[in-house]
Amino acid sequence: GQNIDQPTEMTATEGAIVQINCTYQTSGFNGLFWYQQHAGEAPTFLSYNVLDGLEEKGRFSSFLSRSKGYSYLLLKELQMKDSASYLCAAAKGGNKLTFGTGTQLKVEL
Amino acid sequence: SAVISQKPSRDICQRGTSLTIQCQVDSQVTMMFWYRQQPGQSLTLIATANQGSEATYESGFVIDKFPISRPNLTFSTLTVSNMSPEDSSIYLCSVILNTEAFFGQGTRLTVV
């Protein structure tokens, strides 16, 4: 079976840094995706981690530890437009994705 | 990158009827994925559409309810058959290209 856990919601201040954690248990694990989804829109790809370590992409970074079944998404210099749902998804054989329930991030002034 | 055109973007349908959702990709891809996202929930994989063979369905989803076509490497359809209000959801198609995953804009289905 597969199990993806992430916090339901988080609140952070504009300009701050926030870390969204994701733990997973999945057989045949191929990698970990992070997506951003604004209400009423399709998910937008943010990152894909296959190897352990940190991948940095502008204000967003993603970390993976395969041995611990753990990933996080780090958002720096938060902006109001970053208010959205953030989904982690574990990929297994055949590129099938199992999604977590999403973390609703609210950025406040 | 990949651009996915999905239609219709939304529809309101009577229970008992069927709706076919189309997805067109601007690149050739081996597999296309169909997801459902129910209100306030995350995405659930319905099936994988393979060109030249039958689709592979996930647990809880069956071909009679969600028939899929995949006539070529850039196009797929998902039909939601004999609809009930419980089928009200957003349906999305997706492809993975060069380790990036792309989604269509989704079809917001309301069954009344």
Tell me, what's the pLDDT at B109? 96
Q: Do A100 and B42 make contact, defined as CB atoms within 8 angstroms?
A: yes
Tell me, what's the pLDDT at A28? 84
Residue A89: list chain B partners with CB under 8 A: 43, 101
Cβ(A88)–Cβ(A32) below 8 Å = yes
- When CB atoms are compared, the residue of A48, A89, A97 closest to B100 is A48
| Residue B17 burial by Cβ neighbours in a 10 Å radius (0-12, 13-18, 19+) | exposed
Q: Do A97 and B33 make contact, defined as CB atoms within 8 angstroms?
A: yes
pLDDT tens per residue across span A29-63: 889 999 999 988 889 999 999 999 999 999 999 99
pLDDT tens per residue across span B10-65: 999 999 999 999 999 999 998 999 999 988 888 999 999 988 888 999 999 999 99
- Which amino acid is located at B109 in the chain? L
Q: How high does pLDDT run on average in chain B?
A: 93
DSSP H/E element including A3: strand A3-5
- When CB atoms are compared, the residue of A41, A45, A102 closest to B102 is A45
Asked whether the CA dihedral B58, B61, B64, B68 is positive or negative, the reply is negative
| Residue A95 pLDDT exceeds 80 | no
Peptide bond into B67 cis (omega under 30): no
Q: Do B103 and A42 make contact, defined as CB atoms within 8 angstroms?
A: yes
User: What's the token pair of residue B44?
Assistant: 């659930």
